[in-house]
A and B are shown apart, each in its own frame.
Chain A
Amino acid sequence: MSYQTFQRLLPAPVWIAALFVTLLALLLVACGGSSAGKLTIYSGREESLVGPVIEQFSETTGIDVAVKYGKNSELIATIREEGGNSPADIFFASDPGALGALSDRFATLPDRILGLVSESFRSRDGTWVGISGRARVVIYNTNELTEADLPDSIFDFTDPKWRGRIGWAPTNGSFQAMVTAMRIIEGEERTRQWLEGIKANDPKEYPKNTPIVQAAADGEIDVGFVNHYYLYRFLAEQGESFSARNHFLTAGDAGGVVLVAGASILDTSDSVEEAERFLEFMLSPVAQQYFAGQTFEYPLVEGARPQVGLIPLSEIEIPDLDLSQLVDLEGTLKLLRETGVLP
């Protein structure tokens, strides 16, 4: 059809008007629907990881669930900008730093939920509870190194022999949580020395964990500081020949700290009962076994067992640490800037 025919059949005013009307109609249709009677979750954990278990919750309990996925930081800023009108009932975050950053907006959880996990995996003021655990580990290239070459303590990586061989992600939330843990356990000064020591070794900087794992396998770096479970994703897609593995730091210092992904109920929630049922479900054996089996994380309640090949939590020397102390992100960022790790 030529443009002339088109124009004769449908003169410009007609199709412009038609466009307007269609657009308005579509928008009006789209504006329908409300979130009442639903449980609304803002999840900083990816859908590919938690989507299936949330679906399972919905099927088991019959509670309607709506999930908004995003980065921790985006969701926190969104909840803050929404203020009292936030539709969110639950905030499900991937690290304790993010939970701490929003803790003034959380309701206090009942003891029957808090009591499900050990004290080291929840906030002591009762505002959030850990759902699954992730250990900080060192990923290493298996062509260049063996377990025996690797130290037990993260402090040994300041040795000049690691010059040019380290990868890290200073802007990443888990990394910063680890530095906060280090400040609490080892003190400001020792942490500063560690940061300066690593920096003197010319580490390569990555935006987050996954590129570090890939770079370690490629031999772009020999070792990298990451969370433990990313490796298993790579193994699932690339097979056993993937040439990087995890090394668990067993010296009991901050390098091997076990962080948690956790959740909390917003103080503006209008579905508190459903929200509490959600947290209970996430800490039930079924869901905990899901995290152990499907996301390769550590279950936090008694009875569920971690994936074969993971060092059990009981064998990791967990430093005595109140995870809610990890709130002091400001102090960590200040230190990172003072040492020139962050601009």
Chain B
Amino acid sequence: MAVELGAIGAVAPASFRERTLSAPWPPLFVLAPAVLVGAAMLLPLGYLIWRTLGAGPEAWDLLARSHVFGTLFRTTVLAATVTGATIAIGVPLAWLTIRTDLPLRRLWAVLTVLPLVIPSYVGGMVVVAALRPKGLLQEILSGPFGVDRLPEIYGFPGAFLTLALLTYPYVLLSTRAALWNVDPALEEASRGLGRGAWTTFRRVTLPQLRPAIAAGALLVALYTLSDFGAVSLLRFDSFTRVIFLQYESAFNRTLAAASSLVLVALALGILLVEARARGRARYYRSGAGAARRPGVVRLGRWRWPALAFVVAVVALALAAPISVLGYWLVRGVQAGEPLRLVGEGALNSLYVSSLAAVATVLAALPVAILTVRYPSWVSSLLERVSYIGFALPGIAVALALVFFGARYATPVYQTLGLLVFAYVVLFLPVAVGALRASLQQVHPHVEEAARSLGRSPLRVFLTVTLPLMRWGILASAAGVFLITMKELPVTLILSPIGFKTLATSTWSAASAAFFAQAAAPALLLMLVSSVAVGLLMFREPQLRR
């Protein structure tokens, strides 16, 4: 197939803005839901501001007292390093599990995503159990190797390790979605012009993945800001601790809200950095013809080192937690611990996570379309706003919805409806990121052609754009599904009374030191998720052999 040079030109970040031929005003079926979604996203922020207004001068005292700059600096350093590490892990993993002849590629494709379902307090507990002084690892090493001291795990190293291993799937998922849509013609052109495989990856493939990587990295950075479970167990003094001290120790919602607003400000800073990293390039084919499925990259002698890398990541991020949980389970059962059936929790988890995945993708679609196809200050503001829920500790978002739900929406309060709504508010950016990246790879000319043939915008969207975005849709649904499976604070506060999920059962047992009873639902959580993700991923297309 002939490849136009223009196709390659489209990859380089364009310094000028391509004039779009689309209608300048978005159609109503995009604009109306997008504005509604934006309004919903503002609820937590509105609540926090409302609460903070009641705080008065003591809020300043609190911030002054809590060495706010030192804490913010530490938090920023953690977010930056964790983000860097997740890119270093997630991008190669995505490429290896999608584009290469890695042995057992599809199996790894499923397994490498799964650490996303490990709740951060479980991850933290497992890292502490395995790596603390005189923990499991040292017990194993002390016999044959006489190791009697491990490097200190508490503080930065432990928090960094735990969060990097738990969050790299965000980068992996968004990069995978984009990799499916990379036009192989560009890579072939590069190879045809004499570039090696590595140079081609670095100069041609990687730049095309940039928006997707940036979207995943943004989620990692924001998650690191909002996480409390891992940092508290590993004793890293991050900013969420200031917030939680207010909620947990002082039972003071007002000061907690005030300090949450500082976190929002930090998140906005990160969003600006990401916007710059994403660039303004366009990533669709501008040449003639249609994109084909990419071919298999043969790894040759790199096959085994690559496999070793993938195995190492899976061993650390997935096999290690499963082994520790399995050990707790076996130890407890041997000691005669009764295990209660958790079938109901499993069904509830599956049910509510599926609802959340569908609802979030539906809510994210208009936002993604608006930001990609109708860029303006309104759409970029809307997109920024959609990240606020994700950057806040879950409890702040949950309380915002309790406030609005119990006062102004009593009929839906403590129903699944409001719970799913809360998940949408929390996880919208997870879906928007992957959708945006995949939509950026669909050339607007394709849609315009369909329009010119007489189809209405809605029909064009449903019959042309949506099918082209399918891998992005699948990836975003999978991402939302997995993080909803493990979500805890919002589920505890907003779920209908008596509604148990695997995550709440795990937490409830773990916090009362019923480790065996905590391990059973946690293991089931991973099993159920892996089946669900496996089903999704096995529908992905085959590579050309």
Contacts and interface: CB of A to CB of B under 8 A. Distances in A.
B463 A11 contact: yes
Given A31-B415, A205-B235, A337-B65, A81 B497 contact: no
A286 interface: no
B492 A69 contact: yes
A213 B128 CA distance: 13
B247 interface: yes
Contacts of B466: 12, 16
Contact of A74 (B71, B135, B411, B489): B489
Most interface-central of B233, B420, B511 (chain A CB within 10 A): B511
B515 interface: yes
A23 B398 CA distance: 22
Given A74-B395, A74-B489, A218-B132, A23 B355 contact: yes
B516 interface: yes
A31 B417 contact: yes
A30 B416 contact: yes
Given A12-B467, A77-B251, A342 B399 contact: no
A86 B406 contact: yes
B251 A49 contact: no
A250 interface: no
B493 A85 contact: no
B4 interface: no
B513 interface: yes
B342 to A, nearest CB: 12
A333 B514 contact: no
A173 B541 CA distance: 53
A85 B504 contact: no
Nearest to B335: A237
Given A16-B466, A81-B402, A233-B514, A33 B496 contact: yes
Given A31-B417, A98-B251, A173-B249, A236 B406 contact: no
A171 B250 CA distance: 10
A236 B337 contact: yes
B403 interface: yes
B462 interface: yes
B407 A85 contact: yes
Interface string A59-82: 000000011111101101110111
Interface stretch (B157-165, B237-245, B317-325, B426-434): B237-245
A30 B416 CA distance: 6
Most interface-central of B66, B233, B497 (chain A CB within 10 A): B497
Contact of B250 (A80, A102, A207, A329): A329
Contacts of B359: 23
A210 B511 contact: yes
B492 A74 contact: yes
A147 B279 CA distance: 66
Contact of B492 (A13, A70, A220, A238): A70
A343 B238 CA distance: 11
Interface in A228-252: 230, 233-234, 236-239
B470 interface: yes
Given A31-B417, A218-B133, A80 B253 contact: yes
Nearest to A102: B251
Given A20-B362, A77-B247, A69 B470 contact: no
B539 to A, nearest CB: 8
Contacts of A238: 331, 335
A132 interface: no
B251 A46 contact: no
A23 B399 CA distance: 25
Interface in B455-506: 459, 462-463, 466-467, 470, 489, 492-493, 496-498, 504-505
Given A69-B492, A330-B250, A85 B410 contact: yes
A48 B514 contact: yes
Contacts of A16: 462, 466
Most interface-central of B133, B251, B335 (chain A CB within 10 A): B251
A215 interface: yes
A101 interface: yes
B412 interface: yes
Interface string A187-208: 0000000000000000001111
B517 A48 contact: yes
B515 to A, nearest CB: 6
A46 B508 contact: yes
A101 B251 contact: yes
Contacts of A342: 245, 249
Contact of A237 (B66, B132, B251, B331): B331
Contacts of A101: 251
A88 to B, nearest CB: 9
A35 interface: yes
A343 B406 contact: no
B2 interface: no
Interface string B56-72: 00000000011100010
Nearest to B70: A343
A226 to B, nearest CB: 11
B332 interface: yes
A74 B507 CA distance: 14
8 contacts: A12-B462, A27-B355, A31-B415, A46-B508, A48-B509, A49-B512, A71-B492, A343-B245
Interface of B: 65-67, 71, 128, 132-135, 232-233, 235, 237, 241-242, 244-245, 247-251, 253, 328, 331-332, 335, 337, 355, 358-359, 362, 395, 398-399, 402-403, 406-407, 410-417, 420, 459, 462-463, 466-467, 470, 489, 492-493, 496-498, 504-505, 508-509, 511-517, 541
Q: Closest 4 A-B residue pairs measured CB to CB?
A: A30-B416, A46-B512, A233-B513, A82-B406
Interface of A: 3, 7, 11-13, 16, 19-20, 23, 26-27, 30-31, 33, 35, 40, 46-49, 66-71, 73-74, 76-78, 80-83, 85-87, 98, 101-102, 171, 173, 176, 205-208, 210-211, 213, 215, 218-220, 230, 233-234, 236-239, 329-330, 333, 337, 342-343
Given A77-B251, A78-B402, A343-B241, 8 more contacts: A3-B470, A19-B362, A66-B498, A78-B399, A207-B235, A220-B133, A237-B331, A237-B514
